[in-house]
Amino acid sequence: MSADLLRELAPKVLAAVTRRYGHFDEAEDATQEALLAASTQWPAEGVPDNPRGWLIRVASRRLIDHLRSEQSRLRRETALAAQVPPADWLAPPADIGDTPSDDTLTLLFLCCHPALTAASQIALTLRAVGGLTTAEIAHALLVPEATLAQRISRAKQRIKDAGARFEPPTPDDYDRRLRAVLHVLYLIFNEGHTASSGVALQRTDLAAEAIRLARTLHQARPDDAEAAGLLALLLLTDARRAARTGPSGELVPLAEQDRGRWDRRLIHQGITLLTAALARRRPGPYQIQAAIAAAHDQAARAEDTDWRHILNLYDMLQRLDDTPVVTLNRAVATAMVHGPRAGLALLETLDSDPRMTGNHRLAAVRAHLLDQAGDHQAAAAQYHAAAQQTASVPEREYLLRQARLASR
């Protein structure tokens, strides 16, 4: 039995149970119990002919049992009976069709409810839509399982307290909520692409899950340019995954990567998506970031990179999404076009930004530009500072290695 099958079915089952009975929080627990039952029974008994119907039946029974066991059983069952036709209490027939394609999108919007913090949105999305267990999410995010379980529990309670229901957002809410969904998928991918802590540079399971969910979102909303832009960005970035680490898992910077190891199939997919999205003439931050990634991917050698074009793209991105991270990356592009001192001058604008306090990337970029400018001792000091600020072992080892080279 493939774990991919359960992950694919998880949001469909949760959507069916939630739409039928309401109670998203209890329905999510019941769905997880059904997935766990499948993971233990199917390997021994075989996958049923209709795995989705099997999971819905098991989840429905668990949910009903849970509702009946609560102290408020009579009141809740009366309300539920009034809400749901008697025939709907039965398990769905084996030949029932798939749920509407918007179900997964509705779940994504629900998990990214504005009442939740970004950390809670990520955790709930990975569990409810991604089908990952609490233990798997805790392991991927390097968070104690008990802490992660509490985070998910609080998230579901906040959704309940906010009165959110399992239904697509209204047109007025769509743009704002879609932005949150895109941001959560972007954050999940970033944590998979470059882990914030631990001994591994990448967590491929998280990156793969973010791409899968971004594909699902794009399929549900094929006309949304930013949804396509996000998917293109993830594909174009993930295409370099194999070349980003060396034989011992050490970090290999972009300029030194073996570009023959880049995944040309993903690059082609990403550029095709990006081209179609840009043709809609509704540019957004993810489309522009994807265009930057495409400019890197299309350079046969590092020295062939069109940095002037990339700088122009960063100028556009800064106007649309004026964040310190954009400024940081723009400083690198500025240095490549106008020299390291110009890039260093731009970095000075970030020194007083509280959002960059303790961020090792500011010190790392400053070290790189100082080294290019010939100030090697100052560069070594900044490399050491950056190494002390990161919890990623591969990044720390790379920064310390660069500090040694700059000190020679």
**Token pair 């989840």: residue:** 59
Per-residue pLDDT tens for 53-100?
Answer: 999 999 998 888 877 775 455 555 555 555 554 444 444 443 344 444
pLDDT, greater one: 320 or 81: 320
Per-residue pLDDT tens for 110-144?
Answer: 998 889 998 899 999 888 888 888 888 887 777 88
Closest among 216, 7, 13, 8 to 99, alpha carbons compared: 13
* Tokens representing residue 341 in the block: 């001192």
* Separation CA 391–CA 192 (nearest Å): 15
Q: What is the pTM of this model?
A: 0.82
* Tokens representing residue 80 in the block: 């539920």
| b/e 98-113 (16+ beta carbons within 10 angstroms → b) | ebeeebbbbbbbbbbb
* Separation CA 243–CA 233 (nearest Å): 17
> Within its chain, how far is the Cα of 154 from the centroid?
20
* Tokens representing residue 273 in the block: 């998506």
Phi first, then psi, for residue 251 (nearest 5°) are -70, 135
Q: What percent of the chain has pLDDT over 70?
A: 91
